[in-house]
Chain A
């Protein structure tokens, strides 16, 4: 999973701490999200997208080569 949080954050001149405060999480959570190491809940993803004035799919980019692709195609 890749995210564009860092890029969008820079566009709106927000620090990790400010974004964390706006969405009600710890700064470390934003850090792990930017590194693609944390899978957020739908609510957190929605809140972040809202603060960054973007759609969820514009902020969080999931690559199709991932292991779960088969499951998605099957369903």
Chain B
């Protein structure tokens, strides 16, 4: 069965991580829960991702210039929102309006970053491009318009 190299790697490393997690769970009695759950979650995510990508795209391109452009823009917007959020948390803490532990703050920041990244990615993917249709005449359009004018 034909499969992309990336999906093969996902389907090899995913179950290996899962297996390591299970082995540690059985043989290491006092193993820290965060290590076991991290390994299991990573392995499961890699396996599911591999199966999903293979079923959806097969051997076709999974990423192309449009998805790379969307990913880059989504990451930028997500970073900006997270920075604003961290700023708000800083002032809330500075004026003692909100007091949180470091662990809680880090967990919320991670959630905000991942959540906004997924939201922006979904928004741009649905829209088709990161630019609005009115802005679509960019460098390529200008080249063609100039060529037609000559």
Contacts and interface: CB of A to CB of B under 8 A. Distances in A.
Q: Do A and B bind each other?
A: yes
Contacts, number: 91
Contacts of A32: 66, 128-129
Contact of B140 (A42, A64, A72): A42
Interface string A11-46: 000000100110011111100100111111110110
Contacts of A37: 127-129, 133, 136
Contacts of A41: 65, 140
Contacts of B61: 20-21, 24-26
B62 interface: yes
Instruction: Indicate the member of A41, A56, A62, A69 with the most B CB atoms within 10 Å.
Output: A62
Interface of A: 1, 17, 20-21, 24-29, 32, 35-42, 44-45, 56-57, 60, 62, 64, 66-69, 71-72
Given A1-B137, A20-B61, 17 more contacts: A21-B60, A25-B66, A26-B61, A26-B63, A36-B133, A38-B128, A38-B129, A39-B140, A41-B140, A57-B148, A62-B144, A62-B145, A68-B142, A69-B145, A71-B142, A72-B142, A72-B146
